[in-house]
């Protein structure tokens, strides 16, 4: 298994994984009835931009040419503060492992690679909004609950 940053050649697989991930957790069944072609076009544009703008890092686990897990990281730049070096923090999203490879430690290996990378790059912290089911996965990998953020939902 190879853990690496995604490349443009991976876009087709990443699009399909995002679609599958969304369909798997869509209890309404509405998403499956939407246009894959429209989604594919939008997602391809996003991925091309993400891979080239230095703000997004898409990590993958690959086995025999197939991407079996992915984690997306977006860097959030902070406003500099006098008297200290300011480092960005990372927002983690779209954490997904294809079904046949779940519960085999692949996601944890991918996450451990990202944690080490974040440490080397001196990112201040990584934030993720986990589903209830995934909380134990993150806790096993060193993540802790935070009570600091506040949210506002404009309507």
**Full residue range of the structural domain in which residue 57 is found:** 2-140
What tens-digit pLDDT sequence spans the chain (155 residues)? 999 999 999 999 999 999 999 998 888 888 888 999 999 999 999 999 999 999 999 999 999 999 999 999 999 999 999 999 999 999 999 999 999 999 999 999 999 999 999 999 999 999 999 988 999 999 999 999 988 787 878 98
Q: How many domains does one find in the chain?
A: 1
Query: Nearest 5 degrees, angle CA 23-CA 75-CA 105?
Result: 55
Q: Is residue 153 part of a domain?
A: no
- Whole-number Å distance between alpha carbons of 75 and 123: 9
Q: Is residue 154 part of a domain?
A: no
Q: Is residue 150 part of a domain?
A: no
pTM: 0.93
- Whole-number Å distance between alpha carbons of 18 and 101: 16
Q: Is residue 90 part of a domain?
A: yes
Q: Is residue 74 part of a domain?
A: yes
Domain at 108, CATH number? 3.40.630.30
- Look up residue 40 and give its two tokens: 């594919």
Q: Is residue 111 part of a domain?
A: yes
Q: Is residue 145 part of a domain?
A: no
């Amino acid at each position: 298994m190879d853990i690496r940053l995604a490349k443009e050649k991976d876009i087709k697989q990443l699009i399909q994984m995002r679609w599958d991930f969304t369909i798997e957790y869509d209890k309404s069944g509405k998403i499956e009835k939407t246009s894959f072609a429209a989604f594919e076009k939008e997602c391809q544009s996003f991925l091309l931009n993400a891979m080239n703008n230095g703000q997004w890092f898409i990590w993958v686990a690959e086995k025999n040419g197939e991407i079996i897990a992915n984690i997306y990281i977006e860097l959030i730049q902070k406003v500099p503060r006098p008297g200290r070096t300011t480092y960005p923090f990372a927002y983690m999203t779209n954490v997904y492992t294809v079904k046949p490879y779940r519960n085999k430690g692949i996601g944890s290996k991918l996450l451990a690679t990202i944690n080490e990378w974040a440490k080397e790059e001196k990112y201040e912290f990584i934030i993720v909004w986990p589903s209830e089911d995934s909380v134990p996965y993150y806790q096993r990998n060193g993540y802790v609950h935070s009570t600091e953020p506040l949210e506002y939902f404009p309507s």
